[in-house]
Chains A and B, each alone.
Chain A
């Protein structure tokens, strides 16, 4: 089996001491970042990129660390959902519905243990899915020409727009902001400086990293500044984290269904962990909630969304790695990180950089095992970390952002630019513009323009080439459908 040999090579990469240590660091920091309300996986990954970069890690090692933070955060998010009724990150919102009632009934340890197992099963199954599915998708996508790529990227923007916020118009505008920012700098085709206003600093383009940290971390700090935090969060003691075999077996089908739903939703561009867990929960509610116990501390209501959000994190890696088109804010940041390390994801990555993809995939099997250990016996440690007072946490995020950005170029200008982008991101949030499309636009902008220009160079300037092949046609139709999807759902819901 070709896949198994490749995977074995991947394990050879992932099992080197450095990469094992980085997978562990990623899993640990991810759980921590997920557990702390206020910092989600995007912020965590963005803040860690400059550190990975300044350490001059090889690309596969950097990706192992950063991806570990990403899927680790989906484990950690459940802790404060269950214990405090405050979701640790967006993917864990649904977990509060049955997790907190379980804790109120004195079953916090059981809820934490069951959700850790669900996370592990969901996470691991999705890595199996990634192993089997990603090479196939890459083989299929190898036939994509520039026109198909352009259509694919449009599709990614429209699905993200229809799912990312309440207003598709604002989400699309947000992606245009990112695309516009990506046009700053020397034009890749002709060498003409564009939108640089004579500033030599801008000739190389806008630094992706500074925008990512400013947009997510600094704007988050500004949002958190809106409240004062006088009291300190009480330390929570978690005694035993055990779940009975009976409860586990009763939830097993919910876990497996949640994992399948999560993986497929994760693969879709635009839909991430939060949507996956919501759909898994409503599915379980319809299928198995005969006694109406969902919402009152039903273990299955904890198991399904936790399996789904972890599976979605693995699923989201599929389009990012094989197509080079990420489907969510965090995978867009991961893609931007890979580009900083001179690795271009896409169908050729399996041939050109097998050590990066297979090393990552192998490390995800190992990382999920580490996360199970971190989140079962050691969950009490993370529960105690929730007691870190906010008045310290917020300045700490700000300082970490400063260090990260400063460490890359040692430039005060970068710090000011990051602050400016932070204000922009804060205003976007206040006026209801989602941030993820903007970062996706910034990451994909160059690629989108290059593919458009290549397509029209092939056709000699005829725009019809964009819609000529069957694959491109299907992608354009899907893009249109996804744009009208929320409107259609709204109509159908009304019709009932």
Chain B
């Protein structure tokens, strides 16, 4: 199937879902003639029209390739882990590992990436905490 057509169908579903959710909105008192649902319904209608246009008149486009999906997947997973590990590990350690991993994914060696990551993370930490006065987590393992 043409990619525009497939995306159009998804957007059609999004518009319908969003519109149905909007239909259910009721205000207890009405401060204005439109109320909370008119604008969302208008948006749903516009998106519905646009999605139908995409299905009816799709562009000539080919499906985009995802040549690096594995690398990107690992990177995304590391972002999620980073979000949870930031406080227990502390900013400097978590960021050094993150930079090291991403650098490795981009073709640099582990040692080079981790070293650059540590230098960068330390510099950022010092700049933020002592230069700008913005606190960053030190890590649960840090004594004291």
Partner-B contacts on A (CB < 8 A): 51, 54-55, 166-167, 169-170, 172-173, 176, 179-180, 183, 187, 189-192, 194-195, 218, 221-222, 224-230, 389-392, 394-396, 398-400, 402-403, 406-407, 412-413, 415-416, 419, 422-423, 426, 430-432, 448-449, 452-454, 456-457, 460-461
Contact = CB atoms under 8 A, between A and B. Distances in A.
A176 B25 contact: no
A399 B99 contact: yes
Nearest to A401: B79
Given A403-B95, A416-B83, 4 more contacts: A180-B40, A180-B47, A392-B116, A457-B32
Interface in B5-25: 7, 11, 18, 21-22, 25
B59 A228 contact: no
Interface residues of B, number: 68
Given A392-B116, A394-B106, A449 B72 contact: no
B90 interface: no
A456 B34 contact: yes
A396 to B, nearest CB: 6
B53 A407 contact: no
A162 B139 CA distance: 49
Nearest to A390: B106
B33 interface: yes
Nearest to A460: B33
A407 B43 CA distance: 33
Contact of B36 (A187, A416, A426, A431): A187
B95 A399 contact: yes
Contacts of A402: 79, 82, 86, 95, 98
Nearest to A411: B83
A213 B92 CA distance: 21
B103 interface: yes
15 contacts: A54-B134, A55-B133, A176-B50, A180-B18, A187-B27, A189-B31, A189-B32, A190-B28, A190-B29, A190-B30, A194-B25, A225-B72, A394-B106, A396-B99, A399-B99
A226 B68 CA distance: 5
A452 B33 CA distance: 11
Interface in B85-105: 86-87, 91, 95, 98-99, 102-103, 105
A189 B132 contact: no
A169 B54 contact: yes
Given A392-B116, A398-B102, A173 B51 contact: yes
Nearest to A414: B83
B47 to A, nearest CB: 5
Nearest to A173: B50
Given A391-B113, A398-B98, A402-B95, A228 B107 contact: yes
A387 to B, nearest CB: 14
B95 A431 contact: no
Contacts, number: 184
Interface string B26-68: 1111111111101110010011001101100101010010111
B86 A195 contact: no
Contacts of B136: 403, 406-407
B66 to A, nearest CB: 8
B75 A432 contact: no
B18 to A, nearest CB: 6
Taking each of B33, B107, B134, which has the highest tally of chain A beta carbons within 10 Å of its own beta carbon?
B134
B106 A167 contact: no
A412 B83 CA distance: 5
Contact of A456 (B33, B46, B80, B116): B33
6 shortest interchain CB distances as A-B pairs: A228-B107, A190-B27, A395-B102, A461-B33, A415-B83, A391-B108
Contact of A230 (B7, B107, B132): B107
Contacts of B80: 416, 419
A229 B106 CA distance: 6
A192 B34 contact: no
Contacts of B121: 399
A229 B32 CA distance: 57
Contacts of B54: 169-170, 173
Contacts of A170: 54
A392 B103 contact: yes
Contact of A190 (B35, B40, B72): B35
Contact of A457 (B33, B75, B98, B107): B33
A44 to B, nearest CB: 16
B43 A423 contact: no
A400 B117 CA distance: 12
Nearest to A454: B32
B29 to A, nearest CB: 7
A456 B134 CA distance: 45
